[in-house]
Amino acid sequence: MLAVIVLACLAAPLYAGHVAHTDAFASNVSGSTVVDGQVVPVLQPMTEGLGLGVVPIGPTGDPRHYLLGADGQGRDVAARLLFGGRLSLGIAAGATVLCAVIAVPLGLLAGYVGGALDAIVSRALDLVWAFPVYLLTVSLSVVLLAGEARLGPVHLGAGSLAVPVAVIALGYVPYVALPLRAQARAVRETDYVRLARALGASHLHVLRRHLLPAALPSLVAVLPVLAALSLLAEAALSFLSVGVQSPRASWGTVLNDGLALLYTRPAVTVAPGLLIVSTAVCLNLLADAARNAADPSRPGPAVASRVEHG
C-alpha cells in the first residue's frame, strides 16, 4: 500500500495533464465539467437554507471529471491530493534524512567520547526535548516565515520548502540522538572495543567499525517511525498555515481547504485525512518489519503466542 501511495503521488503530473486535464493550482470558480453526459458548473448554487452562496461539485467517480469533487476554489481535489502527496512525502523523507544526519554523529560521539562533550551535547538535547515537538516546530516555522535565517551557505527564506524540513528535523533530533548515545556508552565498555583500542585502533576506526554497526539495527527500525512522525508534523504545520505555503499544496493544506466544506463536501477533508493515516500506519508496519529483520532473535507474533500459552 505504501508503494502504491508513493507511485500514485509521483504520477501526479500524468494524472492532472493526461487524465483529468486540469491545473491543480489554478482557481476554476467559473468553470464547468461533465457529469452523466450533462455540462454542470463546478461551483453550484446552494440549495439548502436560504439558498445563498455556492457549493463545489461533489465526487463524480469519473477520473476525467473531478473524481473526488472540487474544493472551494473549483480545483480538482484528486489532482491536488496527488501533488500534495509529493510534497508531504518529500518533506517527511527530507526531514528524516536530515534528522539522522544530525542525530547519529551527535549521539555516537557524545556516548563514545564522554566527558565535557557528552555533558554539553546531552544538556542541549535535553533542552530541545523539554519543548513539545509541535510547539517547537510551530514556533520555529512562525519565526522563519516572518523573516529569514542564514547559517553559512544554508539560507532559509520565507516560503521555502527547506523551512518545514529543517524545523521538523531539529524537533526530532533528541528522539534519535539520546537512545544512540546510551547505546554508544554501553558498546564502548565492551571487551572487543577495549581490545581494539589496546591494539592501536583509532577513535574513527572504532566509531566506524564497531559503534555504527551496533547502532544500525536500532536506526533502521526507528527511521520509518521517524518518517511517520515527520509526515504528521508536516500535515499539522501546513494545516496551521505555517508549513507549505500557497500556491503549493500538501496533504495538510488540502485538509485545511476542506475545513469549511466539512458538512457539505466532506470528501475534501476526509480524503487527505485517510491518506495521512494510511501512510503513517504503513510506515509503522514497515518499522516493525525492519525491527524483526534487524533482530532475527526476536520471536515473531506466532512464536510469542505459543511461548505465552505454554
Q: What is the pLDDT of residue 244?
A: 86
Does residue 20 register a pLDDT over 70?
yes
Q: What is the pLDDT of residue 304?
A: 36
Mean pLDDT confidence for 123-148: 81
Angle at 297 between CA 295 and CA 298, to 5 degrees: 75
Calpha distance 286→1 (Å, rounded): 11
Above 70 in pLDDT, residue 307? Answer: no
CA nearest to 121, candidates 139, 137, 102 = 102
Q: Report the pLDDT value the prediction gives residue 44, as an integer from 0 to 100.
A: 82
What is the rounded average pLDDT of the residues 115-134? 88
**From the centroid of its chain, how far is CA 299?**
30
Mean pLDDT, residues 30-38 taken together: 86
Q: Could you tell me the CA-to-CA distances from 137 to 106, 204, 237 in Å, in that order?
A: 20, 34, 8
Using CA atoms, how far apart are residues 133 and 128, in angstroms rounded to an integer?
A: 9
Which triple of cell numbers denotes residue 295? 533482530
Roughly what angle, to the nearest 10 degrees, separates helices 115-130 and 162-187?
130
pLDDT at 154: 63
DSSP 252-304: HHHHHHTGGGTTT-THHHHHHHHHHHHHHHHHHHHHHHHHHHH-TTS--HHHH
Kindly tell me if the per-residue pLDDT of 308 is higher than 50.
no
Q: 243 or 231, which is more confident?
A: 231
The answer to whether the predicted template modeling score (pTM) of the entire model surpasses 0.75 is: yes
State percent of the chain over pLDDT 70: 88
Rg, the chain, Cα only: 24
| 147-157 average pLDDT score | 61
- 154, with CB counted inside 10 A (0-12, 13-18, 19+), is exposed
Q: What's the whole-number mean pLDDT along residues 38-67?
A: 82
pLDDT of residue 271: 93
